[in-house]
Amino acid sequence: MNTVLIVDDEPNYLIVLSELLSEEGFGVFTAGNGEEALKILGETDIDLIITDMRMPGLDGLGLLKAAKALNPDLPVIMVTAFGEVEMAVAAMKAGAFNYLTKPFNNDELVLNTNKALEHYAILRENMRLREEMRSRTSFSSMVGKNQKMQAIFNLIEKVAPTSTSVLITGESGTGKELVARAIHCNSPREKAPFISLNCAGLPENLLESELFGHEKGAFTGAIALRKGRFELADTGSLFLDEVGEMPMPLQAKLLRVLQERTFERVGGSQTLRVDVRIIAATNRDLKDEVDKGHFREDLYYRLNVLHIHLPPLRERTDDIPMLVAHFVNKYAVQLNKPKLEIATETVRFLMTLPWEGNIRELENTIERAAILCSRNLIRPEDVQPESMAAKKPLQWMNGFDLNMIPEHTPLPDVLDGIEKKMVLSALDKADYVQTKAADALGITKSLLQYKMKKHSIVKR
């Protein structure tokens, strides 16, 4: 709903215009002077100001200039008395959208109101598109030749043109929001807003307000009307990250919106209708949460019309070289290091790590290494993943004799040799039961299988 602020020092005039525009479907706010209008502007999302030119205190021209200082794109229609042409011209030079001369008819006011709101909508859309284009640069990190990722890319292409709800699952850091944005930007809704909300860590009342908005006075601290994410995402897409963390009472309200496409703001009675595509994401097993009674089964099936599961990085290690190359190029630009490179042995080392934080941890590791490396070359010693830094150092390493290693032996050969012996030893002790061997080594079964393949260790 578009909101209009009417400013005039004549109460009867405010009443007449307020009733007229309310009947046309606008949300109307009124102010008796310029100072009061500025207070409302600071507290409420206003889409248009209609103000009288002559008022005591801060007049219409002063209000226009103050409003433009707050929001240069906000349209303002000036109302002048007959014969005040010079003041009208001054207002247009100061940025007024248009002016009306008293007396004017209702149709003229409604027509100018709609034109001003359409103009404002175009300006906001252009701004959103510029932001969208900037955000699209992050899609280049969705690289991958891995078979699982290729299947996901194909799935995105098929589901994007529809309005189907999508549930994206995967561990933290696997790129769930990137997939959500890719779906939105390849859909017919691409020119409409993409609005995201993280459902984790917010108390229930605040999360409800974030989703549905609130009316002025709905609760302590609600000093003005605020539009929620559903309202902001109208005709576009709403990305609900960590939807598995949503409290049960809110799950019921979310289900209603998905079924009926209507809702009320917190503290409001007016039913609002929206057209929003829902893309949800979680790192939890929602089916398991349903079985435990922590997540509504009916909501689960509403969200899970199409399911996309993102594999952890340890299950797509063949993509690590491509991801590393992308992040090196990215931070070469950001850090103004055009000659930044990464050594081959560093890439090989990165491929042996478990990456508990997935792609996000890999990117952070490359960024840190790009800052700390010498001579624009990232070497293995420059790499310190967060998951490795969090582990306690091995005490027995203090007594390790480096003289046992032949002089000039390359570090990768030493690491590979130790790794192979440890893998063989663990497999032998576990009678080649891979799950047991992986547990003993402190790695996943999939990573163990990768290392077996790497060192040509054949299954028994």
90-115 exposure pattern, b = at least 16 Cβ within 10 A, e = fewer: ebeeeebbbbbeeeeeeeebeebbee
Taking 50 as the threshold, does the pLDDT of residue 4 lie above it?
A: yes
Non-local (6+) Cβ contacts of 167 within 8 A are 280, 281, 282, 286, 303, 304, 305, 306, 307, 308
d(CA 170, CA 285): 9
Name the nearest CA neighbour of 156 among 168, 172, 173: 168
Name the nearest CA neighbour of 6 among 95, 139, 116: 116
Pairing mode, strands 98-101 and 76-80:
parallel
Instruction: Indicate the range of 99-108, 166-175, 180-189, 395-404 predicted with least confidence.
Output: 395-404
| The pLDDT of residue 170 | 94
Taking 50 as the threshold, does the pLDDT of residue 141 lie above it?
A: no
SS3 380: helix
Long-range contacts: 221-229, Cβ < 8 Å, 24+? 222/266, 222/267, 223/43, 224/40, 224/43, 224/44, 225/3, 225/27, 225/44, 225/45, 225/265, 226/44, 226/45, 227/45, 228/265, 229/195, 229/197
d(CA 207, CA 219): 14
Summarised one tens digit per residue, pLDDT across range 290-333 is 999 999 999 999 999 999 999 999 999 999 999 999 999 999 99
> Tokens representing 179?
């997939």
Helix (H) or strand (E) holding 118: helix 106-136
d(CA 153, CA 398): 47
Summarised one tens digit per residue, pLDDT across range 74-104 is 999 999 876 677 788 888 888 899 988 888 8
Strand partners, 378: 342
SS3 28: strand
Q: What is the largest CA-CA distance in the chain?
A: 100
SS3 76: strand
Amino acid at 95: G
Please tell us whether the domain made up of 3-129 is placed in CATH 3.40.50.920: no
* Torsional class of 407: left (φ above 0), alpha (ψ -120 to 50), beta (otherwise): beta
Summarised one tens digit per residue, pLDDT across range 210-260 is 999 998 888 877 778 888 999 999 999 999 999 999 999 999 999 999 999
Domain boundaries, the chain: 3-129, 148-311, 313-391, 399-460
CATH class of the domain comprising 399-460: mainly alpha
Q: What is the CATH number of domain 313-391?
A: 1.10.8.60
pLDDT tier at 138, thresholds 50, 70, 90? very low
Summarised one tens digit per residue, pLDDT across range 96-125 is 999 888 888 889 899 999 999 998 888 887
Q: What is the fold, at CATH topology level, of the domain defined by 148-311?
A: Rossmann fold (3.40.50)
Domains 3-129 and 148-311 share a fold: yes
Strand (E) positions, 174-322?
Answer: 194-198, 213-214, 226-227, 237-241, 262-264, 271-273, 277-282, 306-309
| The pLDDT of residue 89 | 83
